[in-house]
Structure 1
Amino acid sequence: MKSIQLLLAENANRSSSVNERDMSEGTPLHHACDWGHLEVVEYLLKKDGDVNMTDENGFSPFLIAAGWGREDVMKALLTRPVNPLIVDNQKNNVLHICGATGREGIINMLLEKFPDEMQRLVMLRNSYGWTPIDFSYRCGHYKTTKVLVKQILKLSTPRSLHSLSDPQTFVHTRFSVVRKEFFNFQERNLCRFIDENSDMPIFRIPRCKWHIHSSGKDEFYKTTEYVNKHEEKLRWCLAKN
């Protein structure tokens, strides 16, 4: 903090110094959110650090804090005019990122703060056609999947499902779970496979710029079981979307 205060004092005549960028187009606020330095975040915000400025990957400090699950940092950011609809260069919104990293606390915080905006984001697709639940479900995050499913089911109520005669289930249509010996790295539809001798799930995920935090087998199967309870409604909502 002393170093930051000194540097900003030395550049007091340059109003842009708090938002100057590095080689990755990141600002000091990006880095403070990345590492979870709450005191620094609060100080930079007081000095007019820009909460919506994006780096070379399209990440704002808001998206970075969400991805790492920095709840205290997020509370500080939300005291400023944050744009909750911001997306990265691959059109991933905050729910995509929270779904991939299992940040249920952040999602609940944003649902309370931005209920209408989050309802708009829950079914949006990124550049690869993925919705937030695709990330959450594939990574086996039970709590985030449960929250996202509830939000999806609020969107509309299925009238008729008789037209959905395709025998494939929601699991089949969104991703495949296969044994290691049958895994084909060349196939177009990306898969997740489970090594029965290990608790570590192995993924092929469309390119993304954040760390994927995956669950173990037990949570993954618990997530699958939960989603299967809402099989038809989810298929109807996603098909409509």
Structure 2
Amino acid sequence: MEKVRYLVEEKGCDVTTINKSGLTPLHRAARWRSLEIVKYLVDKGANFKIGIEYGETPFHEAAAGGNVDIVKYLMEKGFNLKATENGSLTSLHKAAYYDNLEVLKYLVEKGANLNRPLSKFISSTQNCKFQQLN
């Protein structure tokens, strides 16, 4: 966290910067499971609703990364649970794909749609995970 604070506050790094892959610092922090950095970046103006090239938001990254506390925090901040990546994948799909059962259960509790058609990129194994929760 010290390094992030130093880069932002001392060196003037922009928290909304987008790298060559289309990712923001918030995407990375969410995926790397750092709630402290996620909160800091959001407080400094990072947009948690911004989607990269295929629509993947920091929320999708948090679901993929498996940190339920980051998922909860971003939902408290107003993230739309129905937002999709590439027009089809939801955060629920990401959590299932990366085997993050705790996040998956939380998203279902919050109203994620278990019956949403799965993308062609999701295998039958992930589909079974959805069926077990249903």
Calculate the TM-score normalised by the size of structure 1: 0.48
1:23 Cα deviation from its structure 2 partner:
0.7
Rg: which structure is higher?
1
What is the aligned partner in structure 2 of residue 174 from structure 1?
Answer: none
Structure 1 partner of 2:94: 97
- What is the match of residue 65 of structure 2? 68
Aligned residue number for residue 7 of structure 1:
7
Q: 1:94 to 1:110 in 2, by over 3 A?
A: same
Give the percent of matched residue pairs that are identical in Structure 1 and Structure 2: 25
Whether contact under 8 Å (2:33, 2:66) holds in the other structure is no
1:81 and 2:78 matched: yes
Alpha-carbon distance in 2 for matches of 1:133, 1:122: 15
Task: Give distance in 1, aligned partners of 2:34 and 2:61.
Answer: 13
Coordinate RMSD, CA, aligned: 2.5
Task: Tell me the equivalent position of 1:201.
Answer: none
- Equivalent positions of 1:100-119 (< 5 A) are 100-112=97-109, 114-115=110-111, 118=112
Per the TM alignment, residue 62 of structure 1 is displaced from its structure 2 partner at its CA by 0.5
Amino acid across the alignment from 1:145: Q
Q: Is this contact kept in 2: 1:133–1:145, CA < 8 A?
A: no
Does the CA contact (< 8 Å) of 2:75 and 2:81 recur in 1? Answer: no
Give 2:17's match in structure 1, choosing from 20, 25, 32.
20
Count residues with an aligned counterpart.
133
* Map of 2:126 onto structure 1: 136
Q: Which runs of 5+ in 1 are unaligned?
A: 151-241
Cα gap change, 1:67 to 1:145, in 2 (>3 Å): farther
Cα deviations by residue, 1:182-208 (Å, 9 ceiling, x for unpaired)? xxxxxxxxxxxxxxxxxxxxxxxxxxx
SS at match of 1:21: coil
Residue identity in the other structure for 2:12: N
Match of 2:132, SS state, is: helix
Task: Give the TM-score normalised by structure 2.
Answer: 0.81
Map Cα deviations across residues 117-176 of structure 1 (whole Å, 9 max, x no partner): x2xx32222453x8x7945246xx4xx5311xx2xxxxxxxxxxxxxxxxxxxxxxxxxx
Long gaps (5+) in structure 2: none
Cα deviations across residues 40-81 of structure 1 (Å, max 9, x unaligned)?
A: 112112112211111223211111111121112222222311
- Between Structure 1 and Structure 2, the one with more strand by share is 1
